[in-house]
Amino acid sequence: MRFFYILAVAITLCPIFYTQADTINRWSREAYQRPLVIAHRGGSHLFPENTMVAMCGAAALGVDVLEMDARLSADNILFLFHDNEIQRITGKDGVFYDYNASDLATMNAAAHFTSTPHDFVAIPKLRDVLQQFAETDIRFLIEIKDSAWRAEVAVHRLIQLIDHFSLHDRVMIASFYSKPIHQVRRHSTQWITSAPMVEATTIVLLDMLYLGWLYDSPPARALQLPQTSFGIPLGNANVVQRLHARTMAAHYWTINQREDMVKLIAAGADGIVTDRPDLLHTVLHNIGLAVPPPINACPDPKNPS
């Protein structure tokens, strides 16, 4: 928790000593003249989160990025799942990594989803989701949820999948933990990553100590931020401009209220992570900004194959 406080204070108050780079960060609004529409867990207020139904539904609505969480099963297969405990999503007891792929295949990822009726929705393998959209232009923000030794295995499996589907320029890899992100970067400089918590804190503290030159070319392409941390506002133009000076994009989560969307768009936010991509469409349209086109990658978004 202390890291959040340090980050909030430092990123708000620190001076910036960088010059703007010439290259365009495709994870920033510069490439589109509007913020990226990022469907949080596929748009979890509209669809059962982290499911193929959600990813297909969000794509058909029109989003730039599908955000999802990746966890290893007991037999080391990556699935889309957020929680360590499985009860909130499936209604069953236990922790995710205690179950193998065949066990998970029997669990209903929509057991507690009430917005729209779903009899049974499978917990999808990450491989199947990437394959479904491999021939489209949609991008992916994939957060590795595993930690400790399991994170090393998760990174290895994720890199294999990205290689297999040639998605190097369309996947941003994220994690709260530093270990998986550092492992990704050691593997190759071609991988796109966001900043883990400790790295984000380090960046802003270096600014305060007049050592910003150490991050003249930061390895992180984006920083995902809440609007406030410990009562300190982060969702404003000053914070966005400071990140832009480092050629880093500012993505804000999880934004589900119209007034917050309007405020962040005005502040220059590069991406809005939302459970309500439909509402963000309306806000963008009302402001006079374009919305991402629909991508019909699934025969029936409500019942994807």
Report all structural domains of the chain as residue ranges with CATH numbers, in order of start. Answer: 2-287 (3.20.20.190)
pLDDT of 274 > 90? The answer is: yes
Query: pTM score, two decimals?
Result: 0.90
Evaluate whether 249 touches 225 at the Cβ level (below 8 Å).
no
Give the count of beta carbons closer than 10 Å to the beta carbon of residue 220.
Answer: 24
Q: What whole-number distance in Å separates Cα of residue 91 and Cα of residue 68?
A: 20
Task: Give alpha helix (H) positions in the chain.
Answer: 2-13, 52-61, 87-90, 101-104, 126-133, 148-165, 178-187, 197-208, 237-245, 258-267, 277-287
Whether residue 100 has pLDDT greater than 90: yes
Q: What is the pLDDT of residues 103-129, one digit of tens each?
A: 999 999 999 998 777 789 999 999 999
Which of 75-89, 117-131, 134-148, 238-252 has the lowest average pLDDT?
Answer: 238-252
Give dist(CA 147, CA 80) in Å, integer.
Answer: 16
Percent of the chain predicted with pLDDT > 70: 85
